Every structure is written in structure tokens, then in C-alpha cells.
């Protein structure tokens, strides 16, 4: 991955000083946002007990800690940042230092039951090889869960009308690729998959996308969501 500066150094710097993750964010006392609830429900609908699970780009271990509660047989964290993997070393059964854009995943083919890939695709300039690797390691009938910033979110559309950049672009300098739904579908078109999109919420504050001032979406309104959340089932 290459940007105007080292993406790897960027994430190493962020996670060097980040706090140790809570062992169970569901019991942390903090209110869970709609986006997290959607992802939680997808995971819960897919029984992962005694199954092989992978979190690609696990950050501070928030979701690996959550997955651990369901007793998977093998929980694997994959990232190209040494600092990220340090945060997940005690949580995961296995960690793999991998540049996912151009390095093969050190995993057997047709062996993984669930993959989390949250806020990752937007960091990859050329995602095709990575997608092919995901499909290789997933078992038939198993799923990968994704979330990415929506370049066409409600507040991003308003910002463009006002001559401002979309939130997906300004929120992180390491974002290099942006998708609409049809581009997501095209990205996975080379594999036999079933893609499902999920509704979440969209913000109304164009200057503070993390504001609690948001609206729950449904149907076509989900095209305006702050994030695109979708699962990909390998057929």
C-alpha cells in the first residue's frame, strides 16, 4: 500500500499509544451504535463456536475480543502493522503480519468460516488480489463481513453541494479507494458469491459526522448511510 506517506507508519503511530481493548465491549457500559449492532447481529446469526475466524485489520482488538466470547476454535488476526498485532496478540490464537494488498494469506484454502474485514478496503489501491485471497481461504457457504465509508452518504452529498470534500475522503488520509454499491458488486463478480447489503444510519451534521444527530435508514434510504455494511457468502 502506498500513499503520500507510509500507511504502515501511520497505523503504527496510531496504535502505539492506543488503550488496551476492553475484554467485552458489549459490557463496557457504553451505548452501542446502530452500525455496531448491525455487525453484531450478522455475527450472531452465523454460529462461530468451534469455527475458524479471521479479523483482517483488527485495530485495537475490539472485534477480536467480541469474537472470542463465542469460543471459536481458532481466532486469527491479520495486519501489516506490528503495533496492531501487539494489541491482538493476547486475544488471538494466531497473528499474521501480512501486507494484504500483495502478499498471500498464510492460510489453507477453503478453511475459514468467518472473516471480518471492517474499514479495510478503502485503504487498498488495488484490491483484486486481496479479494481473490479472501475467496480462496473461505469455506463454501461461509461469509466475510465488510464495512467501508460511503462516498455517497447523505452528509457527503450535502458537503459536495457546498463545495466541500466528502467525509470518506477527509476522515482519514490513508483512504485511497472509494466504492458505491455497484462497484462492490463488480469487485466480487469474478467469484461465485452472494452479496447482501444492510441498512444502518446516516448523519445529518455535515461538519461533525460523528454527531449523535442521525437517522435510522431502511430500503433505498440505506444508500445514504454513513457506511456501507455488507456480507459476502462464498457459494
pLDDT at 128 over 80: yes
DSSP assignments along 96-119, one per residue = EE--TTTS--SS-TT-EEEEEEES
Per-residue pLDDT, 57: 95
Contact (Cβ atoms closer than 8 angstroms) between residue 162 and residue 213: no
Contact (Cβ atoms closer than 8 angstroms) between residue 229 and residue 216: no
Sheet strands side by side (includes 74-79): 94-97, 74-79, 52-56, 112-118, 138-149, 227-234, 193-198
pLDDT 10s digits, 90-115:
999 999 999 999 999 999 999 999 99
Average pLDDT over residues 115-128: 96
Average pLDDT over residues 157-182: 93
3-state secondary structure of 60: coil
- 170: its cell numbers: 477527509
Average pLDDT over residues 160-185: 93
Tell me the CA distances in angstroms from 194 to 105, 166, 189, 190, 230, one per residue in order.
Answer: 22, 29, 10, 12, 10
Query: What are the residue ranges of helices labelled H in 126-188?
Result: 128-137, 154-161, 167-170, 181-187
pLDDT at 31 over 60: yes
Average pLDDT over residues 132-143: 97
Per-residue pLDDT, 230: 98
Residue 223 phi/psi, 5-degree rounding, is -65, -15
Q: In angstroms, rounded to a whole number, what is the distance separating the alpha carbons of residues 80 and 38? A: 27
Architecture of domain 7-24+31-150+179-202+226-234: 3-Layer(aba) Sandwich (3.40)
Specify whether the backbone of 177 is left (phi greater than 0), alpha (psi in -120 to 50) or beta: beta
Using pLDDT thresholds of 50, 70 and 90, give the confidence band for residue 1: very low
Q: In angstroms, rounded to a whole number, what is the distance separating the alpha carbons of residues 147 and 120? A: 8
Contact (Cβ atoms closer than 8 angstroms) between residue 11 and residue 83: yes
Average pLDDT over residues 51-58: 97
Q: What is the mean pLDDT of the chain?
A: 90
Average pLDDT over residues 75-97: 95
The residue ranking higher by pLDDT, 7 or 14, is: 7
Per-residue pLDDT, 61: 92
Per-residue pLDDT, 148: 97
Per-residue pLDDT, 134: 97
Per-residue pLDDT, 5: 46
Q: In angstroms, rounded to a whole number, what is the distance separating the alpha carbons of residues 142 and 135? A: 10
Cell 444492510, residue? 198
Amino acid at each position: 500500500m502506498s500513499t503520500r506517506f507510509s500507511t504502515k507508519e501511520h497505523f503504527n503511530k496510531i496504535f502505539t499509544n492506543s488503550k488496551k481493548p476492553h475484554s467485552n465491549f458489549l459490557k463496557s457500559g457504553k451505548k452501542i451504535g446502530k452500525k455496531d449492532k448491525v455487525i453484531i447481529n450478522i455475527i450472531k446469526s452465523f454460529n462461530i463456536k468451534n469455527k475458524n475466524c479471521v479479523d483482517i485489520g483488527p485495530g485495537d482488538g475490539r472485534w477480536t475480543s467480541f469474537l472470542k466470547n463465542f469460543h471459536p476454535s481458532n481466532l486469527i488476526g491479520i495486519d501489516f502493522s506490528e503495533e496492531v498485532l501487539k494489541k491482538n496478540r493476547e486475544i488471538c490464537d494466531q497473528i499474521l503480519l501480512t501486507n494484504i494488498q500483495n502478499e498471500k494469506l498464510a492460510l489453507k484454502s477453503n478453511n475459514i468460516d468467518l472473516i471480518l474485514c471492517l474499514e479495510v478496503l478503502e485503504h487498498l489501491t488495488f484490491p483484486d488480489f486481496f479479494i481473490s485471497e479472501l475467496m480462496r481461504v473461505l469455506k463454501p457457504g461461509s461469509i466475510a463481513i465488510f464495512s467501508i465509508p460511503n462516498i455517497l452518504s447523505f452528509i457527503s452529498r450535502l458537503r459536495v453541494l457546498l463545495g466541500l470534500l466528502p467525509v470518506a475522503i477527509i476522515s482519514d488520509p490513508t483512504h485511497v479507494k472509494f466504492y458505491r454499491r455497484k462497484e462492490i458488486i463488480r469487485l466480487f463478480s469474478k467469484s461465485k458469491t452472494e452479496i447482501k447489503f444492510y441498512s444502518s444510519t446516516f448523519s445529518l451534521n455535515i461538519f461533525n459526522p460523528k454527531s449523535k444527530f442521525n437517522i435510522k435508514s431502511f430500503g433505498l434510504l440505506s444508500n445514504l448511510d454513513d457506511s456501507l455494511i455488507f456480507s459476502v457468502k462464498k457459494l
